[in-house]
Amino acid sequence: MHTGVNLYPLIGVAVIVVGFVLRFNPMLIVAVSAIATGAAAGFPVQAILAALGTGFIKTRMIPLIILLPLAVIGLLERHGLRERAQMWIGSIKAATPGRLLIVYLFAREITAALGLTGLGGHPQMVRPLVAPMAEGAAQSRFGPLSDAVRYRLRAFAAATDNVGLFFGEDIFVAFGAIVLMVTFLKEAGVVVAPMHVAVWGMPTALAAFIIHAARLYRLDRSLAAELGGRTAGKPDAPPSPTAQSSAVASQGENA
């Protein structure tokens, strides 16, 4: 007979959701969520504090790992990385923001499925390359962009990275979330192989790719409708002979 599963520790998930909705400090949200989870699981106060201290010691090098790439990326941006990316993508006539982001979504999801999650990301890929390239593709097709359009393209670029990483990494058998699910199910009396969990993550990843690719396709259409489908640098069409005759006649009448 299987024993009942204690679901009260999941209160930590609710704490995280409520905290982010109310826009509290992320560090405070995570700390309160950990304390709430430990208390709901019946851990003594000493065990909760020990777990928090152990986690801090294990991850104290993470800020250094994060700051070093940011310094390198900042140096590259100072020397024109964003501008070069915009110029290069602008030279490709068939490039549109939606098509570019669909290609990035595919690459991000495939590399995440292979365990290469560090090849993308917001600070090292989206901000210096993907978002400027999406803006450059839109600007080469529609001309100068407003701030609202630029922020919209940046939001779609960030969302594309999130979707590709989140659903792609669930296919990688050695991903921590798969190990966590297998362990949780095992404790509940359900034995499942990690490979089976990874395999059943493929339909979800495919569905996520199709849905988000459709959203990116709609982005191109909405931009064309909003900006009038004009092309940067394209001269205005010359007036027709009828319009020229009307203009000459009106000038004669005014004279």
Together in a domain, 175 and 87: yes
Q: What is the number of residues in the chain? A: 255
Say whether both 118 and 221 belong to one domain.
yes
Q: Does 202 map to a domain?
A: yes
Q: Are 39 and 153 in the same domain?
A: no
Residues 19 and 126 occupy one common structural domain: no
Examine residue 239 and state whether it is found in any structural domain, yes or no. Answer: no
- My answer on whether 35 and 79 are in the same domain is no
Residues 55 and 138 placed together within one structural domain of the fold: no
The answer to whether residues 136 and 196 belong to one domain is yes
Its pTM stands at: 0.65
88 and 153 in a single domain? The answer is yes
C-alpha–C-alpha distance, residues 197 and 185, integer Å = 11
Cβ–Cβ < 8 Å for 230, 143: yes
Look at the chain and report how many structural domains it folds into.
2
**Does residue 238 form part of some domain?**
no
- Indicate whether 218 and 100 sit together in one domain: yes
C-alpha distances in Å from residue 43, one per residue of 15, 36, 250: 18, 10, 90
Q: How far is CA 121 from the centre of its chain?
A: 8
Q: Determine the structural domain holding residue 55 and report its residue range.
A: 7-60
Q: Are residues 51 and 78 in the same domain?
A: no
Contact 34, 12 (CB under 8 A): yes
Question: Is 92 a domain residue?
Answer: yes
User: Is 99 part of any domain?
Assistant: yes
Q: For residue 249, is it within any domain?
A: no
pLDDT in tens, the chain (255 residues): 445 667 788 888 899 999 989 988 888 888 899 899 888 888 888 888 888 788 777 666 656 666 666 666 677 667 677 777 777 777 777 889 999 999 999 999 999 999 888 888 888 889 888 998 899 899 888 889 999 999 999 999 999 999 999 999 988 887 777 888 888 788 888 888 888 888 888 999 999 999 999 999 999 999 999 986 554 444 444 444 454 445 444 445 444
